[in-house]
């Protein structure tokens, strides 16, 4: 009897496919591979990658095992297969064309093919956990091969020194939501089938996407939907880190299933695929209406509606929404994850609906329809209506291409046959990341100041083409910019005259731009409109807004001292005297803003900048609003609930006014005295429930002891009833803000 070769013992090597397959046949192959000699790990990674790519789809179990082993080695050793690294990549233009919370999107080329360059802002030699996240996304994405999944071409670390670049085809048609704005008659039911097919493929591999929504679904040259953005994707059996260090929930809140909120407290559920099914239902709603789910609700109130009221978006009445599709939507966002259909069921059902619709367009299809509905009902474990809505979605482009549509189809195609990729999403608001007292990277700030990094290897000299309003740097100053130092989406600009400014950039939105791209540009214009006539020593100065295609550039005063949030990160909590000194200035700035009819609505330590002399200035006006009367506003407040007042979190029709900024001021004082954000240790859902109860204020950390005056001041600012809360002018009179005679600012240390 032949003896089975023994597996390599710990600290031995694997040199060929045969030895690798022997290890993979063991009871604990991952453990064995992780104990191999480090010198052979790269070779084993190459063998596993080759084995994974060589496996036919008929042996998914073995392929999953190879992928599992690869993930384990990549996680431990922070390496990737050499085959996915690309060279000879060119970058087009001097500016990114879009971006997200942690990345910039550039257009480039690989030979004759236009490509999308997703450049991660994190330095690859930096934080190991963040580096692992990047490697995991690249490794997972490279193994996805499906017509409804965005192709992955490879990675590059040479084009942008010390940065990591993920490369994919450039999708000219953009995301499905912006595409439908240009072509509202596109076949929506067909898009649902394609998205479901992509999801079914992911789940068949044991992969959960984690962020299904309209802007993460791109339209290729064949007008097929492709799933994109795998930054939150993970194996269904592996734990997903769904919260940031500050307690904020990762992902897009309006598309998140209820169990994601609850898993923060109760621990992760075993099967995470139903999360994607819920998000898919929300995406169907988004595609049908052109609006995100609960678009009329503040995100903080959204958590209350979904968790407490168990509410779902109402069925739209003014758009195409057949009964069978809506019935599917209701099943897919069922409260109990186990009651939601599986993706293979969803895909089969939608394919059948499309088939029934097409057959129903024929005059002699009545009997066939009844038979096919019965057949579908037998194959699915949830009811299907006896009557199928056979009304076609408006002018289905792909199913019936009429001669007059041919020019439209041709114009939407890239001439060389390759697709290209419009920015996946411009998340200027960074809804689920901007909730930290100290930003983990500079890309999260609206206004940049403080520490500088070495000059870019690709020097940028913006040429001002169009002046949108008067400002000291007009088109006649073209070429006068000496240097730019990039920190995320903001640049420090030094002119040849020696002036230094902060320049914030956003893509100039086209008519087909996504909702978030248009919002980002509008936020920038909003800052300029609000700041252009303001002049106060404690309010940031705006020099102008100019257009240098393809970007909008907002020029602001640069304060080299950085933000208070950065000071807290570097030095810890502030002294009582410095806190009082800064608070007095912030209150002065708020009093001025309120006298000009402006609600800031985003006050936090991150948006308070300072110079080296201790002068602080309020910045970050992207979500600020001018109030036209004394009744305030009912417009939802953007951002996270940690700095949000109870009346703004869920105003129940009552609205809010300037007093929400006073609540935020109390939160900023708490930040300065404690060194942590308000509600430290609590997640968003917990904070929202406390705010909506209208009984709780941010607690004081146990290691912080306040003076009697400081405690009285914070209690005053954080009064639950906004009518009993002081105005900014009243705040300035509080005894706590009176500094000792002869006191002088001596810096922060």
d(CA 283, CA 279): 6
Q: Which two tokens stand for residue 81?
A: 């297969």
Span 634-648, average pLDDT: 71
Question: % helix / strand / coil in the chain, to the nearest 5?
Answer: 40, 15, 45
Indicate if the pLDDT at residue 344 is higher than 70.
yes
Mode of pairing for the β-strands spanning 98-99 and 103-110: antiparallel
Report pLDDT digits (tens) over 140-149: 888 888 999 9
Mode of pairing for the β-strands spanning 420-421 and 163-171: parallel
**pLDDT score recorded for residue 487:** 44
Span 188-196, average pLDDT: 97
**pLDDT score recorded for residue 689:** 75
The CB density around residue 476, as the number of other CB atoms within 10 Å, is 8
Report pLDDT digits (tens) over 685-708: 678 778 776 678 999 999 999 999
What is each CA distance from 512 to 7, 40, 118, 278, 282, in whole angstroms? 58, 50, 21, 27, 22
Residue 486 and residue 448 in contact, taking contact as beta carbons nearer than 8 Å: no
d(CA 350, CA 355): 9
7 confidence band (pLDDT: 50, 70, 90):
low
Residue 153 and residue 110 in contact, taking contact as beta carbons nearer than 8 Å: yes
**pLDDT score recorded for residue 128:** 62
Angle formed by the axes of helices 273-289 and 343-360, nearest 10°: 30
The CB density around residue 239, as the number of other CB atoms within 10 Å, is 11
**pLDDT score recorded for residue 302:** 77
Please state, rounded to an integer, the average pLDDT across all residues of the chain. 75
Span 53-71, average pLDDT: 76
Residue 271 DSSP code: -
120 confidence band (pLDDT: 50, 70, 90):
confident
What is each CA distance from 310 to 292, 307, 384, in whole angstroms? 18, 5, 24
**pLDDT score recorded for residue 638:** 54
Q: Which two tokens stand for residue 541?
A: 């100065």
Beta bridge partners of 609: 563, 617
Indicate if the pLDDT at residue 286 is higher than 70.
yes
Give start and end residues of each alpha helix (H) in 6-40: 17-24, 29-34
Q: Who has greater pLDDT, 311 or 615?
A: 615
Q: Domains of the chain, with CATH numbers?
A: 17-79 (no CATH), 85-170 (3.30.200.20), 175-236+251-262+270-358 (1.10.510.10), 564-737 (1.10.510.10)
φ, ψ at 217 (rounded to 5°): -120, 110
**pLDDT score recorded for residue 654:** 57
Using a cut of 0.85, tell me whether the model's pTM lies above it: no
**What are the strands of the beta sheet with 466-467, ordered from one edge?**
466-467, 542-548, 551-557, 500-507, 490-495, 481-487
Sign of the dihedral through C-alpha 28, 31, 36, 40: positive
- Taking the CA of residue 524 as centre, how many other CA atoms within 13 Å lie in the half-sphere pointing to its CB? 30
Indicate if the pLDDT at residue 336 is higher than 80.
yes
Collapse the DSSP code of 320 into the 3-class scheme (helix H, G, I; strand E, B; otherwise coil) and give the result: coil
650 confidence band (pLDDT: 50, 70, 90):
low
CB contact set of 72 (below 8 Å; sequence gap of 6+): 30, 33, 34
Residue 666 and residue 714 in contact, taking contact as beta carbons nearer than 8 Å: yes
Alpha carbon 87 to chain centroid distance? 28
**pLDDT score recorded for residue 577:** 96
CB contact set of 336 (below 8 Å; sequence gap of 6+): none
Tell me if the bond preceding 318 is cis, omega within 30° of 0. no
**pLDDT score recorded for residue 523:** 73
Indicate if the pLDDT at residue 175 is higher than 90.
yes
Tell me if the bond preceding 550 is cis, omega within 30° of 0. yes
Q: Closest by alpha carbon to 423, among 178, 233, 183, 157?
A: 178
Give kind and range of the element (H or E) at residue 487.
Answer: strand 481-487
Q: Closest by alpha carbon to 181, among 265, 289, 254, 257?
A: 289
| First vs last C-alpha separation in the chain | 76
Sign of the dihedral through C-alpha 123, 124, 125, 131: positive
Span 153-164, average pLDDT: 83
Collapse the DSSP code of 657 into the 3-class scheme (helix H, G, I; strand E, B; otherwise coil) and give the result: coil
CB contact set of 519 (below 8 Å; sequence gap of 6+): 428, 429
Q: Who has greater pLDDT, 50 or 238?
A: 50
CB contact set of 245 (below 8 Å; sequence gap of 6+): 436, 440
**pLDDT score recorded for residue 566:** 92
**pLDDT score recorded for residue 251:** 57
Residue 605 and residue 671 in contact, taking contact as beta carbons nearer than 8 Å: yes
φ, ψ at 329 (rounded to 5°): -55, -45
d(CA 722, CA 718): 9
Give kind and range of the element (H or E) at residue 545.
Answer: strand 542-548
**pLDDT score recorded for residue 35:** 87
Residue 130 DSSP code: H
**Residue 295, exposed/middle/buried by CB under 10 A (0-12, 13-18, 19+)?**
middle
What is each CA distance from 504 to 299, 452, 726, in whole angstroms? 25, 15, 34
742 confidence band (pLDDT: 50, 70, 90):
very high
The b/e string for 385-424 (b: 16+ C-beta within 10 A; e otherwise) is eeebbbebbeebbeeeeeeeeeeeeeebbbeeebbbbbbb
Range of lowest pLDDT (339-353, 576-590, 638-652): 638-652
d(CA 501, CA 484): 10
Mode of pairing for the β-strands spanning 89-92 and 98-99: unpaired
**Residue 727, exposed/middle/buried by CB under 10 A (0-12, 13-18, 19+)?**
middle
Residue 736 and residue 580 in contact, taking contact as beta carbons nearer than 8 Å: yes
Place of tokens 């809505």: 389
Report pLDDT digits (tens) over 16-47: 888 888 888 888 898 888 888 888 889 988 88
Range of lowest pLDDT (84-93, 272-281, 466-475): 466-475
**pLDDT score recorded for residue 234:** 62
The CB density around residue 572, as the number of other CB atoms within 10 Å, is 12
**pLDDT score recorded for residue 360:** 60
Report pLDDT digits (tens) over 452-485: 222 223 333 333 323 333 444 433 444 455 555 5
Q: Closest by alpha carbon to 155, among 237, 81, 210, 240?
A: 81
Report pLDDT digits (tens) over 358-377: 776 443 333 333 343 344 44
Alpha carbon 632 to chain centroid distance? 30
d(CA 453, CA 433): 22
- Provide the percentage of residues in the chain whose pLDDT is more than 70: 68
Q: Which two tokens stand for residue 295?
A: 């678009």
66 confidence band (pLDDT: 50, 70, 90):
confident
420 confidence band (pLDDT: 50, 70, 90):
very low
Q: Who has greater pLDDT, 667 or 105?
A: 667
Alpha carbon 550 to chain centroid distance? 22
**pLDDT score recorded for residue 483:** 55
Mode of pairing for the β-strands spanning 217-219 and 225-227: antiparallel
Q: Which two tokens stand for residue 528?
A: 């300029």
Give kind and range of the element (H or E) at residue 420.
Answer: strand 420-421
**pLDDT score recorded for residue 715:** 96
What is each CA distance from 135 to 54, 97, 131, 154, 201, in whole angstroms? 22, 24, 6, 12, 22
């Amino acid at each position: 009897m032949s003896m089975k070769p023994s597996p390599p013992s710990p600290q031995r090597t694997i040199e060929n496919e045969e030895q690798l397959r022997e290890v993979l046949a063991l009871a604990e192959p991952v453990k064995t591979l992780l104990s191999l000699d480090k010198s052979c790990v790269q070779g084993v990674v190459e063998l596993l990658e080759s084995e994974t790519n060589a496996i036919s789809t008929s042996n998914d179990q073995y392929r999953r095992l190879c992928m599992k082993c690869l993930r384990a080695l990549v996680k431990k050793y922070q390496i990737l297969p050499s085959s996915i690294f690309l060279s000879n990549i060119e970058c087009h233009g001097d500016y990114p064309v879009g971006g997200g919370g942690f990345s910039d999107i550039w257009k480039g080329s690989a030979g004759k093919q236009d490509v999308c360059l997703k450049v991660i802002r994190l330095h690859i030699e930096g934080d190991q956990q963040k580096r692992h996240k990047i490697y995991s996304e690249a490794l997972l994405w490279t193994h996805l091969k499906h017509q409804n999944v965005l192709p992955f071409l490879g990675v590059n670390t040479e084009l942008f020194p010390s940065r990591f670049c993920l490369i994919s085809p450039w999708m000219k048609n953009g995301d499905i939501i912006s595409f439908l704005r240009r072509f509202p008659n596109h076949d929506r039911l067909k898009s649902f089938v394609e998205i479901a097919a992509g999801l079914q493929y992911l789940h068949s591999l044991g992969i959960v996407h984690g962020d299904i929504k309209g802007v993460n679904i791109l339209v290729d040259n064949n007008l097929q939907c492709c799933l994109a953005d795998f930054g939150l994707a993970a194996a269904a059996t592996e734990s997903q880190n769904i919260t940031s260090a500050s307690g904020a929930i990762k992902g897009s809140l309006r598309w998140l299933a209820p169990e994601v909120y609850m898993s923060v407290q109760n621990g992760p559920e075993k099967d995470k695929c139903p999360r994607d099914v819920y998000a898919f239902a929300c995406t169907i709603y988004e595609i049908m209406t052109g609006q995100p789910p609960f678009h009329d609700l503040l995100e903080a109130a959204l958590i209350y509606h979904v968790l407490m009221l168990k509410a779902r978006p109402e069925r739209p009445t003014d758009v195409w929404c057949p009964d069978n599709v809506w019935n599917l939507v209701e099943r897919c966002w069922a409260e109990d994850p186990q009651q939601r259909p599986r993706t293979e069921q969803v895909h089969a059902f939608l394919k059948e609906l499309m088939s029934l619709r097409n057959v129903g367009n024929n005059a002699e299809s009545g009997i066939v329809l009844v038979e096919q509905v019965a057949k579908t009902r037998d194959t699915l474990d949830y009811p299907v209506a006896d009557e199928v809505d056979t009304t076609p979605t408006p002018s289905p482009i792909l199913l019936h291409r009429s001669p007059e549509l041919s020019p439209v189809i041709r114009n939407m195609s890239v001439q060389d046959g390759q697709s290209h990729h419009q920015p996946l999403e411009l998340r200027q608001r960074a809804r689920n990341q901007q909730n930290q007292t100290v930003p983990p990277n500079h890309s999260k700030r609206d206004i940049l100041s403080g520490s500088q990094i070495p000059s870019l290897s690709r020097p940028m000299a913006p040429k001002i083409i169009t002046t949108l309003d008067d400002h000291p740097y007009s088109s006649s100053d073209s070429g006068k910019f000496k240097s730019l130092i990039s920190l995320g989406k903001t640049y420090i600009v030094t002119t040849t005259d020696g002036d230094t400014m902060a320049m914030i950039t956003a893509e100039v939105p086209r008519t087909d731009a996504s909702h978030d791209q248009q919002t980002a540009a509008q936020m920038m214009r909003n800052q300029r409109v609000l700041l252009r006539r303001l002049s106060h020593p404690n309010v940031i100065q705006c020099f102008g807004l100019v257009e240098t295609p393809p970007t909008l550039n907002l020029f602001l005063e640069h304060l080299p001292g950085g933000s208070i949030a950065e000071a807290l990160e570097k030095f810890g909590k502030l002294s009582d005297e410095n806190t009082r000194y800064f608070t007095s200035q912030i209150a002065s700035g708020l009093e001025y803003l309120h006298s000009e009819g402006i609600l800031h609505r985003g006050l936090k330590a991150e948006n308070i900048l300072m110079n080296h002399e201790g002068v602080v200035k309020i910045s970050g006006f992207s979500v600020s609003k001018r109030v036209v009367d004394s009744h305030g506003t009912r417009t939802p407040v953007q951002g996270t609930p940690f700095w949000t007042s109870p009346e703004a979190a869920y105003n129940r029709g009552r609205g809010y006014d300037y007093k929400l900024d006073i609540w935020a001021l109390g939160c900023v004082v708490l930040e300065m005295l404690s060194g942590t954000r308000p509600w430290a240790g609590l997640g968003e859902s917990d904070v929202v429930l406390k705010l909506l109860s209208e009984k709780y204020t941010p607690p004081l950390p146990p290691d912080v002891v306040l003076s009697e005056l400081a405690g009285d001041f914070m209690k005053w600012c954080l009064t639950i009833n906004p009518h009993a809360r002081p105005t900014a002018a009243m705040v300035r009179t509080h005894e706590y803000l009176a500094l000792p005679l002869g006191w002088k600012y001596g810096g922060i240390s």
